[in-house]
Structure 1
Amino acid sequence: MNKTNIDRFDLNLLTVFVAIYSEGSITAAANTLHLSQSAISHALNRLREQMGDELFQRSGRTMSPTPAAEQLIGPIRQALVQIQQGLVACTQQEGLDLKGLTTRFRLCVRDSFEGLVLPELIAICSRLAPKASFASMRTPREQVLHDLRSGRIDLAADILLPHDDQIQHVELLSDDWVCVLSATHPLLVEDWSLAGVLKYRHVMVSSREHGAGFEDTQLARHGLRREIALRTSNYLAAMQTVAVTNFIVCAPRRLAAALVAPMGGSVVVRPFPMQFPPLELYLYWHRRVEHDRAHVWLREQILKLTAALD
């Protein structure tokens, strides 16, 4: 890889790099960044020239990352998050009276984010802005962006969603997947393998009533499937269920650690024996509140919390 002079490096290219990596294609990256395909292709060519590596190789309709790209994606994502946090922190806060703030913030968050971040967020905000209040709401994924535009919700935390230039977003976290199962599960005395995990019935956690889960989609790509014993929208209920059955639940690693900790050793966490793409969560808000002092302050608290997660 070429030695890159950071003084001459166009940092905008890093956003293009992350979009191509996350979306897996030039077309999807162009849609995400609201740029033309030719602009994305041109940016990728500049990246390749500056980095001295192909970075992505075409495989059918997808762009597969090279080993160099796999090494770069983590540090680049972290750098972009830190830049965003710095920009938020530098936003002028004069005139914002936190002690007198009476705003009711309406958040649309998935169970994976709610259990991981919301309790600590409310604790911090209650201390700093004791008169502010919060509502954690459930909105169908296809309705989230509409509700941000209409003002029904103020912030949303979700996977990467297609959006227009009225919606702002920043990556919150990227998490890998684990299995959670009873501490007395028979699989724990067997060889830990994908075949062993799929031999037992599973709990699926999904906000939707029907359709395949993320794990099922990934398994299906390899011609595999799992048997679902329970479908629920709540990870805590799923954890409590596997504690008293021989079912298995897949969950994001950080969330699993947070929910398992107070369960007294009744469940254990094991790595999922197959490499899945990580769960990537993003924070969304409407452009009209981009510089609203109260909203900037709340986004800053959320970014600080997620950055501090192990």
Structure 2
Amino acid sequence: MSHMNIADIDLNLLKVFEALHDESSASRAALRLGVTQSAISAALRRLRAVYADQLFVRTGRGLAPTLRANQLKPVISEALNKCRQSLAMVDPAASHYEGRSVTLGLSDDFEIAYGRRLIEEIARRAPRLRLIFRQTHSQIVATALMERSIDLAITAGGFAQRLLSREVLGEGDYRCLVDPRSLAPGQQAISLEEFVSREHILVSSGGFIGITDEGLAELGLSRHVCASTTHFAGLPYLLKGSQAVATIPAHAARHIAAFTGLALLPCPLALPRYPIELGWRTNAQPDPVLLKVREAIVASFTTWPPSGD
């Protein structure tokens, strides 16, 4: 084991480490940092000596981090963010968002409904900051936050972890989407009987049973699910030209209907409303950039959606 002292380490090496971990490619890391590829290779040789580990190994798909590199990543990124934060303390007026990114975990119903709005709110508060949307859902969100693969998350619950904080952004309910060509002329609603007789497309992160099945079971009814998918963005393509119906969160249903011409209908089944929550790692010294992004998220939800349907 080499005995290294912080005095022997060039802190620029840490920026190279972060870029290599994010980009999985020496050429892309070089572009990101504005240096030559040979400078990246030289830095990687020094990093390997410092940490006595390969750190990144060549695979068919670029550079893959080793176990040690994955353990180091959150620590190194946090150290670099602390440095960026220190500059912001000296010069609060300057925007120190260039080169920084915040990763927001959410399922794509929130991305569809709020993504554009979030990009605009964040650009106003933290210009040049890059927002990374990463798919998550309530079963895995706590782990993703604790493992630092995401910085913040918007989900319908899932933050029941002692080291996580949360804030309720609002409450959601459900709407149905169908191809308008499958409706009678002027038809604005769908009866429970017609709802059950149609085929259904389920959006689920893994299960065979959705909230709709539970609601129908209470009435002694069941439905036929012809297909299920993990993401909402595919729905327009799966519904168009069919008799199928999808029952999804209202915020996404409104946006999908507006963009694709699918018909938005009230759900003929009474389904429970659910809380929409923002979650983050509890931290005694919160990062000002994350605070800015949290403010932007809260603002996006308080002014949206327009009340009334």
1:148 to 138, 145, 152: 145
Q: Give the alignment partner of residue 250 of structure 2, picking from 250, 253, 256.
A: 253
In structure 1, give the amino acid aligned to 2:273.
P
| CA distance 1:152–1:188, change in 2 (3 Å) | same
**Deviation digits for residues 19-55 of structure 1, max 9, x if unmatched?**
xxxxxxxxxxxxxxxxxxxxxxxxxxxxxxxxxxxxx
Aligned to 1:200: 198
Give runs of aligned pairs for residues 186-197 of structure 1, distance below 5 A. Answer: 186=183, 192-197=190-195
**Does 2:271 align with 1:276?**
yes
Aligned-partner residue type, residue 232 of structure 2: Y
Deviation at 1:201, TM superposition (A): 0.1
1:187–1:197 CA contact under 8 A, matched in 2: no
* Corresponding letter in the other structure for 2:295: E
TM-superposed deviation, 1:162: 5.3
Quote the residue 1:136 is aligned against.
Answer: 133
How many residue pairs get aligned? The number is 215
> What residue number does 2:292 align with?
297
| Residue of structure 2 equivalent to 1:286 | 281
Root mean square deviation of aligned Cα: 2.4
Share of identical aligned residues, percent? 21
Structure 2: gaps of 5 or more residues: 1-87
TM-score (norm: length of structure 1) = 0.63
Residues 289 and 142 (structure 1 numbering): CA distance in 2 closer, same or farther, change over 3 Å?
farther
User: Shift in Å at residue 285 of structure 1?
Assistant: 0.3
Instruction: State the one-letter code of the partner of 1:300.
Output: E
Structure 2 CA distance for partners of 1:147 and 1:204, relative to 1, 3 Å: same
Distance 1:176 1:227 in 2: 22
Look at both structures and tell me which one has the larger radius of gyration over its CA atoms.
2
Uncovered stretches (5+) of structure 1, i.e. residues with no partner:
1-92
- Report if aligned partners of 1:96, 1:294 keep a CA contact under 8 Å in 2: no
Give, in angstroms, the shift of residue 188 of structure 1: 6.5
**SS across alignment from 2:283:** helix
Q: Which residue in the other structure is 2:71 paired with? A: none
CA contact (8 A) 1:111 1:233 kept: no
Partner residue, 1:239: 236
Deviations 1:238-272 (A, max 9, x none): 13322221111112222211111122x3x211111
Whole-Å separation in 1 of the counterparts to 2:282 and 2:218: 37
Deviations 1:139-168 (A, max 9, x none): 464332122123221111112225233110
Structure 2 letter corresponding to 1:178: R
